[in-house]
């Protein structure tokens, strides 16, 4: 019975790896694999440092499993170059690679060729998305539209008056929907004036 490692990656904290996990566990059962470890990363695919993947690669070098199961090829690598490096290392370590979504594995030369093509397509898709975002930002800038968060509107005079009335920094922050740090900065820039008439 082959020993299998499962690798899951989700891009944001809003996503859950459970969907991938269920599919991969079922895949392992169908192929008669024994699952020895499951690795998960909650991070963007473009990030270089991925603790789950790094740990899996370290365990692969120690010979702790015979096959790696992933939900999709774009889950495991941040670029085609990185994808090929991972596959080359698996090949050198005599570890098979299988992807659930594409229904392929590297058990033979055809599976390896398909995996490389899929990796190239996944990178192309990511690059196209990036280019579309950049083009949209350029268009918005040319049209004079705001890019990013709206500029914070402050009323230093009103903040000063609230402080003179004895409101705490926390109360002022809540009233003006700003942070306490912003309140403190405004007060430093515009010190509270004593408006009471001289006695």
Residue 134 placed within a domain: no
Whether 162 and 116 share a structural domain? no
Domain stop point among 104, 126, 148:
126
Q: Which of 11, 44, 73, 79 is catalytic?
A: 11
Residue 43 placed within a domain: yes
Counting the structural domains of the chain, the total is 2
Q: Which of 45, 130, 43 is nearest to 79 (CA)?
A: 45
Percent of the chain with pLDDT over 90: 25
Taking residues 70-97, report their average pLDDT: 83
pLDDT (0 to 100) of residue 197: 47
Whether 99 and 170 share a structural domain? no
pLDDT (0 to 100) of residue 48: 64
Residue 136 placed within a domain: no
Q: What is the pTM of this model?
A: 0.56
CATH of the domain at 44: 3.40.50.1390
Which is it for the CA torsion 76, 80, 81, 87, positive or negative?
Answer: positive
Residue 199 placed within a domain: no
pLDDT (0 to 100) of residue 127: 84
Residue 164 placed within a domain: yes
How far apart CA 99 and CA 121 sit, in angstroms, is 15
Residue 144 placed within a domain: no
Q: Is residue 54 within 8 Å of 23, Cβ to Cβ? A: no
pLDDT (0 to 100) of residue 195: 46
Residue 58 placed within a domain: yes
Residue 34 placed within a domain: yes
Domain limits for position 49: 3-126
Q: What is the pLDDT of residues 19-59, one digit of tens each?
A: 889 999 999 999 999 999 999 988 775 666 789 999 999 99
What is the pLDDT confidence band of residue 3, given thresholds at 50, 70 and 90? very high
Q: What is the pLDDT of residues 117-152, one digit of tens each?
A: 766 777 787 788 888 888 888 888 888 776 665 556
The answer to whether 73 is a known catalytic residue is no
pLDDT (0 to 100) of residue 199: 46
């Amino acid at each position: 019975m082959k020993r299998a490692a499962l690798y899951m990656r989700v891009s944001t904290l809003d996503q859950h790896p459970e969907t991938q996990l269920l599919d991969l566990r079922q895949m392992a059962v169908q192929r008669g694999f024994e699952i020895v470890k499951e690795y998960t990363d909650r991070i963007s695919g473009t990030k270089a440092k991925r603790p789950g993947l790094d740990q899996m690669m370290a365990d692969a070098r120690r010979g702790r499993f015979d096959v790696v199961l992933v939900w999709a090829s774009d889950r495991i690598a941040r670029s085609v170059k990185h994808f090929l490096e991972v596959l080359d290392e698996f090949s050198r370590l005599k570890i098979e690679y299988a992807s659930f979504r594409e229904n392929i594995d590297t058990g033979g030369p055809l599976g390896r060729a398909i995996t490389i093509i899929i990796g190239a397509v996944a990178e192309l898709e990511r690059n196209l998305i990036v280019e579309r975002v950049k083009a949209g930002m350029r268009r918005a800038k040319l049209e004079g539209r705001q890019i990013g968060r709206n500029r914070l509107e402050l009323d230093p005079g009103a903040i000063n008056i609230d402080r003179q009335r004895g409101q705490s920094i926390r109360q002022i922050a809540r009233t003006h929907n700003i942070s306490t740090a912003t309140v403190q900065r405004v007060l430093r820039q515009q010190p509270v004036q004593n408006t009471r008439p001289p006695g």
